């Protein structure tokens, strides 16, 4: 897997030659997504910006159906939305649904004839697409299992491993949001022909007219062991500020228990969560596994001081702009949060650093990078050189 030294994102209108002309003529993108978590947010932000630049985006959503609010957001963004329910590739026994979804996707491809296929998953990469595939690695069962369970994924994931590897090898370009995630892919599946780091961006203007309060906030699926909410709940029994957690507590018919000293806010709509980010002074996510961390970016943009799990991906994005703790050290989690509570100058300084760092992760920069990637893949498919393997640098 080749990754060259970082270089800045460049717009096609600052480049010359056939590749720049290709980028200007990108008219339609078929993008896959699910509505379960951060992939939806990422896909909608990117699609909205592409549409603003004159690119038609068809978002093919698989898995649990989008909510009415999500459908409304897609419509307001000018994004075409099509849906197919079924199990996703990381779920138990998914393959009948995954294969049926593949047939559906190929039908969409043959009907719409997009210029590029943007896959936010792995297992459909080896389908007979009519256009080059840009595959984005948001997460992976094998690296999740190793980070969360401390061991390799069991043999029941052998089919998953084989299908992911086939998808990666078929892609014209593999993208990950952090170098840490790209390194995990290389370790598990071997080198891709060409791979690139493109950091996520977020369109998240902070809520206005909301007073900052002495609150510690966390957000994430409570049942996802990677988020490490159990450790956070246990660690915060002795801290002096209230702790609030937003997120889904239900999975497979069961509900995660939330201790009495923690206020569970439930699943919040986007505007309400935005207000909670603006109210909270501290955001805590002692994650064991987080390939990027959109909720961290939202908290930083909102002016929260950050306490984060000390893992490679979060260090990559937030080193120097957050307090880091070992995810399994509950005393360290509590001590870091309490330090920010007790020392207002430290809290203000870390919040300012986090906000400044967050300003680098823009949707405009993300869209620039993807348009460049699309154009290079299309140009290569038409007989030009293969895309460059590089890490797209963040610009302040």
Tell me how far apart the alpha carbons of residues 46 and 308 are, in angstroms, rounded to a whole number. Answer: 26
Report residue 36's pLDDT band, with 50, 70 and 90 as the boundaries.
confident
Name the least confident of 109-113, 252-256, 275-279. Answer: 252-256
pLDDT tens digits for 214-230? 999 999 988 889 999 99
Tell me how far apart the alpha carbons of residues 142 and 168 are, in angstroms, rounded to a whole number. Answer: 14
One domain, residues 178 and 221: no
Mean pLDDT within 233-261: 84
Tell me how far apart the alpha carbons of residues 56 and 178 are, in angstroms, rounded to a whole number. Answer: 27
One domain, residues 191 and 265: no
One domain, residues 185 and 277: no
One domain, residues 108 and 34: yes
One domain, residues 305 and 228: yes
One domain, residues 271 and 253: yes
> Is 209 domain-assigned?
no
pLDDT value at residue 8: 33
> Is 170 domain-assigned?
yes
Rg of the chain over all Cα atoms, to the nearest angstrom: 21
> Is 285 domain-assigned?
yes
Report residue 9's pLDDT band, with 50, 70 and 90 as the boundaries.
very low
The conformation of residue 300, written as its DSSP 8-state character, comes to: H
> Is 206 domain-assigned?
no
> Is 210 domain-assigned?
no
pLDDT tens digits for 60-96? 999 999 999 999 999 999 999 999 999 999 999 999 9
Mean pLDDT within 224-242: 93
One domain, residues 30 and 165: yes
pLDDT tens digits for 347-384? 999 999 999 999 999 999 999 999 999 999 999 888 76
Tell me how far apart the alpha carbons of residues 73 and 306 are, in angstroms, rounded to a whole number. Answer: 28
1: number of Cβ within 10 Å: 17
8 Å CB contact between 262 and 238: no
pLDDT at 11 over 50: no
pLDDT tens digits for 91-140? 999 999 999 999 999 999 999 999 999 999 999 999 999 999 999 999 99
pTM exceeding the 0.85 threshold for the entire prediction: yes
Supply the range of the domain harboring residue 344: 216-358
User: CATH number for the domain including 159?
Assistant: 3.40.50.2000
Name the least confident of 9-13, 15-19, 30-34, 270-274. Answer: 9-13
pLDDT at 202 over 80: yes
pLDDT at 55 over 70: yes
pLDDT tens digits for 280-320? 999 999 999 999 999 999 999 999 999 999 999 999 999 99
- How many domains does the chain fold into? 2
One domain, residues 348 and 372: no
pLDDT tens digits for 138-174? 999 999 999 999 999 999 999 999 999 999 999 999 9
The encoded tokens of residue 18 equal 């056939």
pLDDT value at residue 2: 41
Report residue 260's pLDDT band, with 50, 70 and 90 as the boundaries.
confident
Tell me how far apart the alpha carbons of residues 144 and 235 are, in angstroms, rounded to a whole number. Answer: 23
One domain, residues 144 and 239: no
> Is 74 domain-assigned?
yes
pLDDT at 51 over 80: yes
One domain, residues 257 and 188: no
Report residue 14's pLDDT band, with 50, 70 and 90 as the boundaries.
very low
């Amino acid at each position: 897997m080749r990754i060259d030294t970082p270089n800045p994102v460049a717009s096609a209108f600052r480049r010359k030659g056939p590749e720049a002309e290709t980028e200007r003529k990108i008219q339609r993108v078929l993008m896959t997504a699910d509505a379960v978590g951060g992939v939806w947010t990422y896909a909608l932000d990117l699609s909205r910006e592409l549409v603003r630049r004159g690119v038609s985006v068809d978002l093919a959503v698989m898995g649990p159906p989008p909510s009415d609010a999500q459908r409304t957001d897609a419509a307001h963004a000018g994004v075409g939305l099509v849906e197919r329910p079924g199990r996703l590739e990381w779920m138990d026994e998914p393959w009948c649904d995954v294969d049926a979804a593949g047939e559906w996707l190929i039908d969409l491809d043959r009907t719409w004839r997009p210029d590029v296929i943007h896959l936010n998953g792995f297992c459909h990469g080896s389908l007979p697409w009519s256009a080059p595939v840009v595959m984005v690695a948001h997460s992976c069962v094998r690296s999740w299992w190793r980070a969360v369970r401390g061991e390799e994924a069991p043999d029941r994931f052998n089919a998953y491993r084989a299908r992911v590897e086939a998808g990666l090898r078929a892609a014209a370009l593999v993208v990950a949001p952090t170098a840490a995630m790209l390194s995990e892919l290389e370790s598990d599946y071997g080198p891709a022909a060409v791979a690139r780091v493109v950091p996520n961006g977020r369109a998240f203007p902070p809520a206005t007219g909301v007073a900052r309060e002495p609150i510690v906030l966390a957000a994430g699926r409570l049942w996802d062991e990677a988020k490490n909410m159990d450790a956070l709940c246990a660690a915060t029994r002795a801290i002096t500020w209230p702790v609030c957690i937003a997120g889904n507590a239900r999975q497979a018919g069961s509900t995660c228990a939330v201790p009495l000293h923690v206020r569970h806010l439930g699943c919040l709509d986007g505007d309400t969560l935005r207000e909670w980010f603006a109210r909270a002074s501290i955001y805590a996510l002692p994650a064991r596994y987080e390939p990027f961390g959109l909720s961290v970016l939202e908290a930083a943009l909102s002016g929260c001081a950050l306490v984060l799990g000390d893992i490679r991906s979060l260090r990559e994005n937030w080193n120097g702009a957050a307090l880091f703790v070992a995810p399994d050290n509950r005393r360290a989690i509590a001590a870091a949060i309490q330090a920010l509570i007790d020392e207002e100058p430290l809290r203000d300084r870390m919040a300012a650093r986090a906000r400044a760092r967050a300003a680098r992760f823009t949707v405009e920069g993300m869209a620039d990078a993807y348009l460049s990637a699309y154009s290079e893949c299309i140009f290569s498919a038409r007989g030009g050189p293969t895309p460059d393997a590089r890490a797209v640098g963040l610009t302040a």
